[in-house]
A and B are shown apart, each in its own frame.
Chain A
Amino acid sequence: MKLQIKNGRVIDPANKRDQQTDLFVADGHVLAFGQAPAGFKAERVIDASGKLVVPGLVDLAARLREPGFEYRGTLASEMRAALAGGITSLVLPPDTDPTLDEPGLVEMLKHRARQLAQVNLYPLGAMTVGLKGETLTEMAELTDAGCIAFSQADTPVIDTTVLLRAMQYARTFDFMLWLRAQDPWLAKGGVAASGAYASRLGLPGIPQQAETIALNTLFDLQRTTGVRLHLCRLSSAAGIDLVRAAKQEGLAVTCDVSANHVHLTDVDIGYYDSNFRLDPPLRGQRDRDAIRAGLADGTIDVVCSDHTPVDDEGKMLPFAEAEPGSTGLELLLSLTLKWAQDAKVPLVDALARVTSGPGRVLAASSSAIASAGQLGIGAPADLCIVDPSAYWQVSRQSLLSQSKHTPFLGIDLPGRVQTTIVRGQVAWEFAG
């Protein structure tokens, strides 16, 4: 299909493009900007006047809950939510049931996703069998099956020797590890950030040292093994300082934060609102400010949705007993725009954290993914058209995700996705 997207403001951080122009798509790829190439005849013209035309968002952490937790979300329901949020590529953590520790499972998941033919799905393989932190998985086989890197999801490795071996083995094949930094002992039993607010509420806390100690361990082992690391969901100011220093030192490290943590602090938990039960926990004002500063100066490469569908039963419980996690696919773009607005960050820089930034992490993970999150000529035409001035209310009715639980329920957010295009095909359109 030949497409002409007319008169939009094209923002493509990877190629430093921010201009009012026309975009031409043919055969699923970006063909040209500005003037139609000779002989180009559009089969469809989309008027994008007053809208942003942005690379399809790349989300580095989205649990679609298949296989194993279909009552909380399915590939079909959550991929639709992704498209409604302008996301065209997403990475699946391996904490499904069973976990993604066998090539057959990964092939089946890829096959299911291909049948649905919507969003580009990139699974992370389990680093250890059953995520138990004991036995290494067949990383090479899993890579052949389609895994782009290896991860423990939210389950830390307790035995540091296993962590060292996993790094050595991954380095052998130059596979990347995507790891959370959370000391299992200090985090044990905790449900909120340690500090005055958790103490008032009588909730067991997780101190920031859970993050900094784990980061120091990871960096030290990285120095001896040379493995490349992507650090997932940082939460503390002290942790971000460590990553900044590691980058200055020259360690091969990238990192992300969840969109929730760009906006919220522990005080927002209010009267035990279980929609604010998240992993890692929300921390203080200073931590949130450090997250924003880290995003602005490039220490933090990526904002992800950390999409974790939880059903009503999992949330209608006292705070400490409630399941952590929130739905996020449909909020990622809006929360990024809101951050740009609040912190007066130029749009092109803010959007880099959900397009070119995660695109680079994908490219570093797998040579097969060269051009996610950008709109260079010849790149796959994965993009979304956004009305930046339209506000929408986050509500049970407006969310397409099977999970209706997010800390932003009832809040008006900026940015309505009008159209999402995957490989040159209109995959989703806002019905109005």
Chain B
Amino acid sequence: MRNPQLNRHGELTHLITTEGLPRDILTHILDTAQTFVPLADRDVKKVPLLRGKSVFNLFFENSTRTRTTFEIAAKRLSADVFNLNINVSSAAKGETLLDTIANLSAMQADLFVVRHEASGAPYLIAQHVAPHVHVVNAGDGRHAHPTQGLLDMYTIRHFKKDFANLTVAVVGDILHSRVARSNIHALTTLGVAEVRAVGPLTLLPSGLDQMGVRVFTDMKEGIKGADVIIMLRLQNERMGGALLPSAHEYFKHYGLTEEKLALAKSDCIVMHPGPMNRGVEIDSAVADGPHSVILNQVTFGIAVRMAVMSIVAGASA
């Protein structure tokens, strides 16, 4: 079965997941992003790569931050951008996902940026759009958040130069995290020496060891000697049920504090996809401290999303 993200020439025509993408494509996205980073400091921040193209931000699930960074990225590529919060419009009226897509396609969309609560929804959309229309996944259920994964890879490469000898620890709610999955697949494809997943057993999905990661339940063991620590956001609704007893106990065992951070390498970088819960998964002293590259991630995120959109839009029909 052909990877549905690639066209028959092997070009990236949709970006849905980092899993199964060739290393060359991942590297090409990071290299392209690198050419866009300096734009942010110029007076004129726009390039005309998507002039005349229509980008639709389709958010079936609320997100201000991710939607805004996609909007900025598309506008810097000179595209026309339309934002639709579907959960408050047609979905409420009973229109199906594919009806919505068909209607918007009739408005001559060139690229859909999609966030949906159901894992795999972007595949369904990609299967039903015309060949010249592209789909970029902005997060689907627990499955994937590939632009976040790629901007994390960009950040790691920026600070560490090379992936080969790194130890990267992903810490927290792996079970529900699309960011964790996208990071794990990208890290293993890019040849990181050791990828670790750290969390309590209630938040680690079954079969995780088959994704090429070492699994740790003890955070101190899990981050020992790490070059990179990626902290995951812990949703409030996971608390107080059968998954975790309390934020207090979670922070004590899995919150990143300066004390725990001292176990990692001295030049370790700390990342977080945001928005952060200070005092739940990360201590403020760490979030704002010298190891934190959390704000760099946000800046690089725009360049990476510009790279992804310009690359998929350039794929032949």
Q: Are A196 and B98 in contact (CB under 8 A)?
A: no
- Give the A-B pair count, Cβ closer than 8 A: 77
Contacts of B206 in A (CB 8 A): 194-196, 198-199, 205, 207
Contacts of B1 in A (CB 8 A): 270-271
Contact of B118 among A194, A270, A316, A319 (CB under 8 A): A319
Contact of B124 among A196, A207, A270, A317 (CB under 8 A): A317
- Of B42-50, B140-148, B292-300, the stretch lying at the interface with chain A is B140-148
Q: How long is the Cα–Cα vector from A201 to B119 in the complex, in angstroms?
A: 7
Is there a chain B Cβ closer than 8 Å to A320's Cβ? yes
Tell me which residues from 308 to 330 in chain A have a Cβ below 8 Å from any Cβ of chain B: 313, 316-321
Is there a chain B Cβ closer than 8 Å to A200's Cβ? yes
Tell me which residues from 98 to 124 in chain B have a Cβ below 8 Å from any Cβ of chain A: 98, 116, 118-121, 123-124
Is there a chain A Cβ closer than 8 Å to B10's Cβ? no
Q: Are A200 and B118 in contact (CB under 8 A)?
A: no
How distant is B92 from chain A, measured CB to nearest CB, in Å?
A: 15
- What 1/0 flags go to B68-111 for Cβ under 8 Å of A? 00000000000000000000000000001110000000000000
Is there a chain A Cβ closer than 8 Å to B210's Cβ? yes
Contacts of A202 in B (CB 8 A): 119-120, 140-144, 178, 181
Is there a chain A Cβ closer than 8 Å to B239's Cβ? no
Contacts of B140 in A (CB 8 A): 202, 318
Q: Are A200 and B211 in contact (CB under 8 A)?
A: yes
Q: Are B96 and A319 in contact (CB under 8 A)?
A: no
Contact of B211 among A194, A199, A313, A316 (CB under 8 A): A199
How distant is A267 from chain B, measured CB to nearest CB, in Å?
A: 11
Q: What interface size band does chain B fall in?
A: 20 to 34
How distant is B207 from chain A, measured CB to nearest CB, in Å?
A: 3
Contacts of A271 in B (CB 8 A): 1, 4, 120, 123
Is there a chain A Cβ closer than 8 Å to B191's Cβ? no
- CB closest chain-A residue, reference B60: A318
Is there a chain B Cβ closer than 8 Å to A197's Cβ? yes
Is there a chain A Cβ closer than 8 Å to B131's Cβ? no
Is there a chain B Cβ closer than 8 Å to A339's Cβ? no
How distant is A222 from chain B, measured CB to nearest CB, in Å?
A: 30
Q: Are A196 and B207 in contact (CB under 8 A)?
A: yes
Is there a chain A Cβ closer than 8 Å to B22's Cβ? no
Q: Are A318 and B118 in contact (CB under 8 A)?
A: yes
- CB closest chain-B residue, reference A204: B142
How distant is B96 from chain A, measured CB to nearest CB, in Å?
A: 7
Contact of A318 among B121, B178, B208 (CB under 8 A): B121
How distant is A286 from chain B, measured CB to nearest CB, in Å?
A: 13
Is there a chain A Cβ closer than 8 Å to B290's Cβ? no
Is there a chain A Cβ closer than 8 Å to B61's Cβ? no
- What 1/0 flags go to B1-12 for Cβ under 8 Å of A? 100100000000
- CB closest chain-A residue, reference B126: A271
How distant is A415 from chain B, measured CB to nearest CB, in Å?
A: 26
Q: What interface size band does chain A fall in?
A: 20 to 34
Q: How long is the Cα–Cα vector from A303 to B141 in the complex, in angstroms?
A: 35
Is there a chain A Cβ closer than 8 Å to B205's Cβ? yes
Tell me which residues from 118 to 169 in chain B have a Cβ below 8 Å from any Cβ of chain A: 118-121, 123-124, 140-144
Contacts of A270 in B (CB 8 A): 1
Q: How long is the Cα–Cα vector from A195 to B178 in the complex, in angstroms?
A: 16
- CB closest chain-A residue, reference B206: A194
- What 1/0 flags go to B37-69 for Cβ under 8 Å of A? 000000000000000000000000000000000
Question: If A272-B119, A272-B120 touch, does A317 touch B207 (CB 8 Å cutoff)?
Answer: no
Tell me which residues from 202 to 245 in chain A have a Cβ below 8 Å from any Cβ of chain B: 202-205, 207
Q: How long is the Cα–Cα vector from A270 to B208 in the complex, in angstroms?
A: 18
How distant is B61 from chain A, measured CB to nearest CB, in Å?
A: 12
Question: If A196-B211, A318-B120, A319-B118 touch, does A201 touch B96 (CB 8 Å cutoff)?
Answer: no
Q: How long is the Cα–Cα vector from A250 to B71 in the complex, in angstroms?
A: 67
Tell me which residues from 288 to 345 in chain A have a Cβ below 8 Å from any Cβ of chain B: 313, 316-321
Contacts of A201 in B (CB 8 A): 119-120, 143
Contact of B207 among A199, A204, A313, A319 (CB under 8 A): A199
Is there a chain A Cβ closer than 8 Å to B19's Cβ? yes
- What 1/0 flags go to A338-359 for Cβ under 8 Å of B? 0000000000000000000000
Contacts of B144 in A (CB 8 A): 202
Q: How long is the Cα–Cα vector from A200 to B182 in the complex, in angstroms?
A: 10
Contacts of B205 in A (CB 8 A): 198-199, 205
Contacts of B121 in A (CB 8 A): 318
Contacts of B123 in A (CB 8 A): 271-272
Q: How long is the Cα–Cα vector from A203 to B120 in the complex, in angstroms?
A: 9
Contacts of B98 in A (CB 8 A): 316
Q: Are B207 and A318 in contact (CB under 8 A)?
A: no
Q: Are A313 and B119 in contact (CB under 8 A)?
A: no
How distant is A107 from chain B, measured CB to nearest CB, in Å?
A: 36
Q: How long is the Cα–Cα vector from A318 to B117 in the complex, in angstroms?
A: 10
Q: How long is the Cα–Cα vector from A313 to B98 in the complex, in angstroms?
A: 10
Q: How long is the Cα–Cα vector from A319 to B120 in the complex, in angstroms?
A: 7
Pick the most buried of B19, B205, B211: most chain A CB atoms within 10 A of its CB. B205
Question: If A202-B141, A202-B181, A205-B206 touch, does A319 touch B119 (CB 8 Å cutoff)?
Answer: yes
Question: If A195-B206, A200-B211, A316-B98 touch, does A321 touch B4 (CB 8 Å cutoff)?
Answer: no
Q: Besides A202-B181, A318-B118, 10 other CB < 8 A contacts?
A: A194-B207, A196-B207, A202-B140, A202-B178, A203-B141, A270-B1, A271-B1, A272-B119, A272-B120, A318-B124
Top 9 closest A-B pairs, CB basis? Answer: A196-B207, A272-B120, A202-B142, A202-B143, A318-B118, A199-B205, A202-B119, A196-B210, A318-B121
